[in-house]
Amino acid sequence: MSGRHVIAPAATTNNGGANIKPHRQLASMKAEQRFTDTVLYTILTVMALVWLVPFVIIVLTSVRSMGDLISNGVFAWPREIVLSNFERAWNIGNFSTYFRNSLILIVLKVPLGIIIASLAAFPLAKMQFRFNNIIFIFFLFGLAIPIHVTLTPLLVMMKQLGIQGTLAALIPPYVVFGLPFQIFVMRGFFRTVPSELLEAARLDGATEWGNFWRILMPLSAPALATLFIIDALATWNELLIALVLISSNESRTVPVGLLQFQGQFSSQYTQLMAGVLISITPIILLYIFLQRYMVSGLTAGALKE
């Protein structure tokens, strides 16, 4: 009996020690994870601040007078808020025309490109035919073609069509250069839709055209929203093709107009920064309000195979 009383406390002590060890390991892992998260968030915060510095400089410069800028520098807080810089930049820089042209391009080009890409992605994703994968790879080759090598052929082609120098000359190349990525995204999303759903619709008398418009397109709303945001941003910011194909001031887009404005007011930094802020504000607002749709669209299957 006495032997049992001696052994029992020893067994209890051993079990307790065995239980303490996993707890210590768990606490150590949690501490290491907290340290890793802290380092990661610190690095991301520093990177965000570094990326925000140019934007802060633009804002501070655009709302101050030229004398204040020369006297105190770009990082000093403005002694007086001068909003007239935006009015001068808008009127003198003819930004109303440039905004109108860029908006027309977005309204016409973005939906047209997405519809064409969806029509091409549908058979590539949901129909079995010869050379299916080869055709898809052919479309993907478009992602590897540099825009620079196509500028001269594009200029010659648009002159032959008689639309060189007008806003209409930008729509065909913008649509074509956007198709490879759009087809890639839409094909990946269409492949996540169960084929049994389309088969059931066919048994009920639905045509392939009906399956496309009534089933696939409504289910692809996240991917469509993602493509709309990305394509609208790319269309608004595109400079190189517009600079080569557009010659008249009435057809210039915002990036080309801003480049001209910069040449005219290269020494008027306050008005120049006001023009830059005017040109980037719509894109910043679009991204802020719609970024969650872009993320959800990509994670909902648009890039899954």
Residue 25 sits in the same domain as residue 135: no
What pTM was computed for the model?
0.77
pLDDT digits (tens, 9 = 90+) for 94-103: 888 999 999 9
The count of C-alpha atoms lying within 13 angstroms of the C-alpha of 127, restricted to the half-sphere facing its C-beta, is: 16
CB atoms within 10 A of CB 221: 13
**Mean pLDDT across the stretch 49-57?**
88
pLDDT category, 16, cuts 50, 70, 90?
low
pLDDT digits (tens, 9 = 90+) for 194-223: 888 888 888 888 888 988 998 899 888 888
Question: Total structural domains in the chain?
Answer: 2
pLDDT at 17: 53
Residue positions counted in the chain: 305
Both 97 and 140 in one domain: the answer is yes
160 & 117 share domain: yes
For 37, phi and psi rounded to 5 degrees?
Answer: -65, -40
Distance in angstroms (rounded) separating the CA atoms of residues 300 and 303 = 8
pLDDT of residue 295: 65
More confident residue, 83 or 25: 83
Q: Which amino acid is at 22?
A: P
| Backbone torsion region of residue 76, taken as left when φ is above 0, otherwise alpha when ψ lies between -120 and 50, otherwise beta | beta
Q: Is the model's pLDDT at 5 over the cut of 60?
A: no
Q: Is residue 77 part of a domain?
A: no
Residues 286 and 140 in one domain: yes
- What residue numbers bound the domain in which 49 lies? 2-56
Task: Answer whether residue 273 shows pLDDT above 50.
Answer: yes
| pLDDT grade for 10, boundaries at 50, 70 and 90 | very low
Residues 146 and 38 occupy one common structural domain: no
Give yes or no: residues 117 and 230 share one domain: yes
Q: Is 70 a domain residue? A: no
pLDDT, tens only, 153-198: 999 999 898 888 888 999 999 999 999 999 998 998 898 888 888 8
Residue 26 or 55, more confident: 55
- 75 within some domain: no
DSSP of 112-164: HHHHHHHHHHHHHHH---TTHHHHHHHHHGGGGS-GGGGHHHHHHHHHHHT-T
